[in-house]
Amino acid sequence: MNKIQPNKIYNIDCIKGMGLLPPKKIDLIITDPPFAINFKASKANYNRTASRVMKGYNEIKPEDYYDFTYGWMAEAYRILKESGSMYVFSGWNNLKDILSSLDEVGFVTVNHIIWKYQFGVVTKKKFVTSHYHCLYVCKNPKKRIFFPFSRFKQKSKTKEGRSLHYKDKEDVWEIKREYWTGDEKTPTKLPAELIKKIIQYSSKKNDIILDPFLGSGQVAIVSKSLGRKYIGYEIVKKYYNFAKKRLDKNVYRLKK
């Protein structure tokens, strides 16, 4: 393999895959990398039947997480356009390594977004974790593109008279997790509405969107549904096959 084509996904390591792309090729990167928290992919997530959750989730040892993160981020920086942006999702456990790597590689932080979902794991000795972090970063702050009224017009109001675009652009996003349906499922996925929001604010039609850790294929699927080009890398063969099957079905009809 010596050339990466848009509108395709690849069953290869993301660093190798990004290395096959020329500099400044990608408009937007959205990704949810492994968390390095000894995640048990086969457990009954959301009360699911464990036997139906595909195994193969690749975790990173905590002591290796900074080097792993720096490695893929350096390639992401190289292939991102000067006008481009990147959104990286993270739990709190290794957030320090992600923040340090972003700074060391040369990314500039635009926002630290909190994604608040509808439930977390019940706890007895600590507070319930019911959010993820999303680091919104760019390569060149002066050239970074953003479409502030792509979802709501400047003068659009709620029934109570509040600005709709202001509310939508606050940095705490309350978006529900998605439940899987069917017999096959990967252990995690980002909600389609979450990805849609990012894509609408930070890209235009025919832009190329990359997910280095494709998983279930969610970023590619939503990108396709919104008229964007996509590239995805997934090292786990079972997940790659699952994502490809979903892409071929074009499963999402997103809300307007």
pLDDT at 52 over 50: no
Within a domain: residue 2?
A: no
Q: Which pLDDT score is estimated for 58? A: 52
Within a domain: residue 208?
A: yes
Within a domain: residue 166?
A: yes
Within a domain: residue 255?
A: no
**Full domain range(s) for residue 150:** 8-249
As a whole number of angstroms, the distance between CA 225 and CA 200 comes to: 12
Q: What is the 3-state secondary structure (H, E, C) of 85-149?
A: EEEEEECCCCHHHHHHHHHHHCCEEEEEEEEECCCCCCCCCCCCCCEEEEEEEECCCCCCCCCCC
pTM: 0.87
Q: Which pLDDT score is estimated for 48? A: 31
pLDDT at 70 over 90: yes
How many separate domains does the chain show?
Answer: 1
Within a domain: residue 123?
A: yes
Q: Which pLDDT score is estimated for 92? A: 86
Within a domain: residue 111?
A: yes
Q: In this predicted model, what pLDDT tens digit does every residue of 91-146 receive, in sequence order?
A: 888 899 999 999 999 999 999 999 998 877 778 899 988 899 999 999 999 999 99
Within a domain: residue 254?
A: no
Segment 153-166 shows an average pLDDT of 87
pLDDT at 35 over 80: no
* Residue with more model confidence, 58 or 15: 15
- CATH code at position 70: 3.40.50.150
Q: Which pLDDT score is estimated for 56? A: 40
Within a domain: residue 1?
A: no
